[in-house]
Structure 1
């Protein structure tokens, strides 16, 4: 069975880990759930302390959002 382009992209992304020290989490959720998840993330990891942010996002069919959140591992 042939791999989908997304499968190939996922495998390639796992091979190259960013060396910038940030922890990343990629989610794919319906729009309202994505908004709630992002709010909860920023409540848990404030931008001022963790340099947290949305690294990238895109709209998918079916009103779903794929987004990557990033933050530093600890607030020093």
Structure 2
């Protein structure tokens, strides 16, 4: 009975490393972030839009941070993955 020998993976490893280096220069982090400043009602609607357009299960969408400003203003940062791969 012949013994299975796995194929060498050196070429694949080099390709993966090269791809990761190229992608590292294109974006500063893994997530896409956008910061908003708007009224509380508008902020809720904007967050809903993000969750509808980029579902949490696929894009890891979340309100990364938020704070209340003077009056009824909210400053918040939404974050998501760039693709749903």
TM-score (structure 2 length as normaliser): 0.66
Task: Answer 1 or 2: which has greater strand percent.
Answer: 1
Corresponding pairs, count: 59
Superposition CA RMSD, Å: 1.3
TM-score (structure 1 length as normaliser): 0.74
Higher relative contact order by CA 8 Å / sep ≥ 6: 1 or 2? Answer: 1
Task: Structure 2 unaligned segments of length 5 or more: list them.
Answer: 1-26
Name the structure 2 match of 1:31: 40
- List structure 1 runs of 4+ shifted beyond 2 angstroms: none
Task: Structure 1 unaligned segments of length 5 or more: list them.
Answer: 1-17
Cα distance per residue 1:26-47 (max 9 Å; x no partner): 0000000000000011000000
